[in-house]
Amino acid sequence: MSIIEVNNLSKSFDFYKKELGLKNSVKNLFHREKLSKEAVKGISFQIEKGEIVGFLGPNGAGKTTTLKMLSGILFPTSGSASVLGFTPWERKKEFKKNFSIVMGQKNQLWWDLPANESFYINKCIYEVEDDSYKNMVGYLSEMLGVKHLLNVQVRRLSLGERMKMELIASLIHKPQILFLDEPTIGLDFISQKAIQQFLADFNEKLKTTIILTSHYMNDIENLCKRAIVINQGKVVYDGELSNVNGLLNQKKIVKLQLEEPVELYILEKYGTVKKRDQLSAVVEVEKKDVRRISMLMLEDLPILDLTIEDIPIEEGIEVLYKENREEVK
């Protein structure tokens, strides 16, 4: 059964054009040119209970706007959505008690208070029982390795530690749906891995449905089996993340380690040279030709080592962005 259903959802923003200078400022008092930007253009999708879905797209694609509509922060211009059986922008109390949204660039914790003070405020807001609250804070802080920091002022925590506290604050009421907008932005690799592992374990234990936006492909690859790719307000792909490479005509990457340098024009005989330096090269070839070309390379080139890999998923997604942009033009 779908826990989230979105049908032809759209959102437009009106704004005004203003030229530089005092004269134009005075002019704008009497006449302003009104413009409109359609941030989301009739998107539709469904998400099942317990899924972790990657919601991907370039900056300005409409990802955050969509999450804000699904969480009831924004009203849509047209279309409909059902989240947990509720219409999000009606903002009913029972709906608000069953989801959380975490935005990597916005804080919900009180800066000058210890994190556990903010947790207690959330406990009261969401009417969480005392035993459930204590157990949940203990469980979450233990999993994220921040139990010893609960009494420390938030402003004295590192970025990674604050992000972990933000996650705890959003989960103490055991929401059925968690919207995550760039939760690992600015974090180091170790902190990213810790949060990824936590989210995977939390999802497995409590079957919380998670929608995740991120520009770090490691977040998406490590957590999501399914991806919804949005560009210029439209859904351009919805399916298995592993199938994105199928949209690239099933090309493969051949990585070479060489005993001696090989001229560029020689490598170009085998495929598209993506990268080359003195003793290494990366060549893109058609999947159907990879066996034959690999044999030719081994016969003709001074190769120490040869490996064959899929095209990185981020390159596949980049192609989706470009294809959609060309269609719009």
- Break the chain into its structural domains and give their ranges: 2-242, 249-328
Please tell me the CATH code under which domain 249-328 is placed. 3.30.70
pLDDT digits (tens, 9 = 90+) for 75-117: 999 999 999 999 999 999 999 999 999 987 778 899 899 999 9
* Residue 132, pLDDT score: 94
* Residue 82, pLDDT score: 96
Q: Tokens for 187?
A: 């974090």
* Residue 314, pLDDT score: 62
Give the dihedral sign, CA 274/275/276/279. Answer: negative
* Residue 329, pLDDT score: 46
pLDDT digits (tens, 9 = 90+) for 181-205: 988 877 888 888 888 999 999 999 9
The number of C-alpha atoms within 13 Å of 151 and in the hemisphere containing its C-beta is 1
**pLDDT score of 34 more than 90:** no
Please tell me the CATH code under which domain 2-242 is placed. 3.40.50.300
Percent of the chain with pLDDT over 90: 56
* Residue 58, pLDDT score: 80
pTM: 0.77
**pLDDT score of 323 more than 60:** no
User: Other C-beta atoms within 10 Å of 275: how many?
Assistant: 11
Measured CA to CA, the distance from residue 110 to residue 93 in angstroms comes to 23
| 8 A C-beta contact, residue 153 and residue 114 | yes
Mean pLDDT (whole number) for 22-47: 84
325 or 304, greater pLDDT = 304
**pLDDT score of 66 more than 50:** yes
* Residue 46, pLDDT score: 96
* Residue 315, pLDDT score: 66
Measured CA to CA, the distance from residue 239 to residue 232 in angstroms comes to 19
User: What is the chain's mean pLDDT, rounded?
Assistant: 87
Smallest CA-to-CA distance from 210 within 223, 193, 221, 191 is with: 223
Which of 43-47, 213-217, 248-252 shows the lowest mean pLDDT across its residues?
248-252
